[in-house]
Amino acid sequence: MREDWMRTTPPSLLSLTIDTAVLHLSNFSDLSSIPDHIILDLFLRTLKAGKLTEKVLKLFVATGNDEVLAFIQALNIQHVITPVLPTRCSEKF
């Protein structure tokens, strides 16, 4: 008895590659070699996986991809600005 309804289509190589990239994105230093149509998918999967850190956000912003930048703006994602505190106080200014 054939049960075609139980068969599922395996994920594409591209889909598997993007999923793997999401897991290791914090190790990347540049996304410029990735085509624009993949950058948006990578960004959305990064959000879905909860892997968007300050470093990863900077990588996506540096791509200049209009769609990614529009998503960042629409979702009101902002860079974290860490205040710099003086390491010592001096009475002389």
> Is residue 48's pLDDT more than 70?
yes
Cα separation, 4 vs 38, in Å, equals 31
Count structural domains, the chain. 1
Query: Residue 92: its pLDDT value, please?
Result: 60
Task: Using alpha carbons, list the distances in angstroms from residue 18 to 22, 37, 46, 51.
Answer: 6, 12, 9, 13
Stated pTM of the model:
0.76
Cα separation, 29 vs 32, in Å, equals 10
Q: Which domain holds residue 68?
A: 12-74
**Would you place residue 5 in the very low, low, confident or very high pLDDT band (cuts 50, 70, 90)?**
low
Does 1 map to a domain? no
Does 90 map to a domain? no
Query: Residue 3: its pLDDT value, please?
Result: 60
> Is residue 72's pLDDT more than 70?
yes
